Chains A and B, each alone.
Chain A
Amino acid sequence: MNTELSTEQLLIQENTYKWAVDNLSVQDDFDHCHNLLSEQGLFALPVSESYGGVGADLLATLLSIESIAQVNPSIALYTAMHTVVLADLFHRYGTDPQKQQILPALTEGQMLFALPLLQSMECLHLPVDLKSDSQLFDVSGQCHQILHSEQAKTLVLPLANEEHHALLLAEIGHPAVELQPAHQLAGMQNLHWRHLNLTDYVFQQENVVNQQSHLLLERWHSLEALALSAVALGIMKSCLHHALNYAQQREQFGQPIANFQLIQAKLADIYAETELSRLLLYQTASLTDSEFTLTEALTVFHQAASAVEPVAEQTVQIFGGYGYIRDFPVEQLWRDAKFIRLLIGGSQQVQRQIAEALIAEQEGI
């Protein structure tokens, strides 16, 4: 039974973490760090060597995301949507010309996308109408909370209806694509969030990735769940790190607050939830393709997203008043944690999907 990371995985994790600590700060926004990220080769990790990438496995890529998230969760999230989600989808479902066009540029960090988070949508169905026949997609519709950056030239939209499961690639700057500033969010504020209006955008064949398999969007959904979990794990690890340091340094009643049992219990709980999320993420990311299902991925996300908010909140508590002000990064970790929590919060969608899959399995459906 092997329960530990491989040497190579450890190396990627440690190096990325050291690099992130030295080069990123919690306030940076993505555009500011973009060049640094690509120079460091972070976009190249998951891309296969034939397209100029490193060909690292899924877990190694997630470890790099977790390490960035320990310093800046927003940057980690946007990077992850490229390295964990899109790189994999283009590899699996792109045509050769699409791969040749996209993957080398993605590797270099030269191709950034604007895209939605599937977890934030009510269901897998895209809020766009499919108007014409299968040759050309003529799409109009709206989508909230598109993740965007200044350098993003292409918009990726997932499409799912009875006949089609595809990724649609739209050109940003095209008059049919309108991106407006979104509402202010509780967390992940170092990213640009946009509302999207699409008016009769006509997609040519070469800008449509895979039109058949429903597995494509299921894969997006699963990988996004793991990506978000890696970000959540980074937040939790960072919380543990800050909480342990501060508890030993801050003195009250003539001694470090770490000596108080109520503080010790919080530290233990922060560690425990972090560790459970870590093990579940790592083990699930190591599953073979046939074992890896949406249910397993959503279970990881359910765990990480449920754990991250209390972990961050308790960390702020350990900091007392100092946790509440911007002198320390913990208030930001707390807000970023809230963002992740909100993705599974109200709708119970994730819980329902897991439960229904398990019930179906039991009934042998």
Chain B
Amino acid sequence: MDFALDNMHLAAQQAAEKFALQYLSPLALEMDIADSFPQDIWQKLGAAHLLGAGLPEEFGGQGSDVISAALIGEALAYVSPAFSLSYGAHLNLCAHNLLRNGTEAQKKAYLPKLASGEWIGALAITEPNIGSDAMGMQCVAQQRDDGFIINGNKMFITNSPVADLLIFYAKTDTAAGKRGISAFLLELPAEGFSVSRRLDKVGMRGSPTGELRFDNVFVPRQNLLGKLNQGYKVVMSGLDIERAFLSTINLAVMRHCLEICIDYAALRHKQSTKPQQYDSLIADIYRWQRSTRLATYRALSLAQQQHRISKEAALAILTSSEKALRAAEQTLDLVQLMGFRSENVAQRLWRDAKLMVIGAGTSEIRRLLIARELLGQR
């Protein structure tokens, strides 16, 4: 047991850290204030080969693995959790999903564009009335000879206001429950499709989130992703890996909080006025970061080896998100109390961290999922 990163992983991590510092760092504050998505960096990210991790070279990717991809997400999140969220939605929720479930033709058509950063990807499950109970979705796909006609709404979809390719789920058999769900690929813009609202969020600003409307949108038959009525499998396998992947955002938040606390404590240390609560906070964040990092990397590594990771991924994101939120809360408490210059960053991290106990399944749902796995009630 070594949890060692190999050279490929280290290279990805270093490249992403360098990129984040050079291009992302100067924009992070403005992204938050103006809720602006820095589209031009997206192409730079592609050009730096950071959008193709975990995608085979034949489809324009780097041929590396999902761990490399997640490490890049972690490095980006250190500077901007919001940007990393968009990165994760694009690469893991959309591109990796397409890689796992798409036909050769679909992969050839779309993956190179996603890997280069020419296109931005998104994935839509959630609807205005359907969140945790995802399988109860109401969006409908009616079959025609040449394809499907889609009607319904989607809610909270990351990247959707700027996306070129959308994977979405809809009911192809409304009487069959979760066995009546199918997945589709939709090129945007498309007739009848609109982003009816761009959502104004408390955190993760700069990662655009939209509400979507499907009004008789036509999807050709060749854009069915996976088999008809088997979208359930696509959703579930995707959600597991998504949880492990996005968990890296929390690791980065904790690392950043830790650095803020240590910086500040070091300063106060010199003046011999270090308050004692810093010790507890630093020691806590350090153990939270170290332990949830292992849980996250383990889930990713098992996923890479094609294991089922429902419990492991839920564990990773449940613990890392709750601890990151606590770390950010307490860091903010301290710096605010002391009027420290990191207040800007700390309050942003705090607002950003809150999403992570809600998105990709709430903490409550993650606990239920773990318990059911433990009880053998799959």
Contacts and interface: CB of A to CB of B under 8 A. Distances in A.
A264 interface: yes
Interface string B295-322: 1011001100000000000010011000
Contacts of B284: 302, 351
A354 interface: yes
A149 B39 CA distance: 70
Interface residues of A, number: 46
Contacts of A247: 375
Interface stretch (B162-170, B231-239, B260-268): B260-268
B263 A362 contact: yes
Interface centre among B1, B4, B294 (most CB of A within 10 A): B1
B15 interface: no
A299 B282 CA distance: 11
A358 B282 contact: yes
A363 interface: yes
A45 B367 CA distance: 38
B367 A354 contact: no
A206 B318 CA distance: 54
A299 B2 CA distance: 17
A272 B315 contact: yes
A123 interface: no
A325 interface: no
Interface in B139-176: none
Contacts of B276: 348, 352
B375 A4 contact: no
Interface in A1-17: 1-6, 9
B273 interface: no
Q: Chain A contact residues: over half helix, strand or loop, or mixed? A: helix
Interface stretch (B24-32, B97-105, B240-248, B285-293): B285-293
Interface in A257-310: 258, 261, 263-265, 267-269, 271-272, 275-277, 279-280, 282-283, 286, 299-300, 302-303, 306
B287 A302 contact: yes
A244 B364 contact: no
A362 B259 CA distance: 9
B279 A351 contact: yes
Contact of A1 (B6, B286, B291): B6
Q: Chain B contact residues: over half helix, strand or loop, or mixed? A: helix
Nearest to B3: A283
B2 A272 contact: no
Interface size grouping (class) on chain B: 35 or more
A348 B226 CA distance: 55
Contacts of A129: none
A363 to B, nearest CB: 5
Given A248-B375, A268-B368, A286 B2 contact: yes
B374 interface: yes
Contact of A3 (B1, B263, B287): B1
B33 interface: no
Contacts of B368: 261, 264-265, 268
B266 A268 contact: no
Contacts of B202: none
B59 to A, nearest CB: 24
B67 A1 contact: yes
B262 A362 contact: yes
Contacts of A348: 276, 279-280
Given A276-B292, A303-B287, A362-B263, A2 B1 contact: yes
11 contacts: A2-B2, A2-B4, A3-B1, A264-B371, A264-B372, A265-B371, A275-B295, A286-B2, A351-B280, A358-B258, A362-B266
Interface of B: 1-6, 9, 67, 258-259, 262-263, 265-266, 269, 276, 278-280, 282-284, 286-287, 290-292, 294-295, 297-298, 301-302, 315, 318-319, 364, 366-368, 370-372, 374-375
Given A275-B295, A355-B265, 11 more contacts: A1-B67, A2-B2, A3-B1, A264-B372, A267-B374, A268-B318, A276-B294, A279-B294, A299-B286, A352-B279, A358-B282
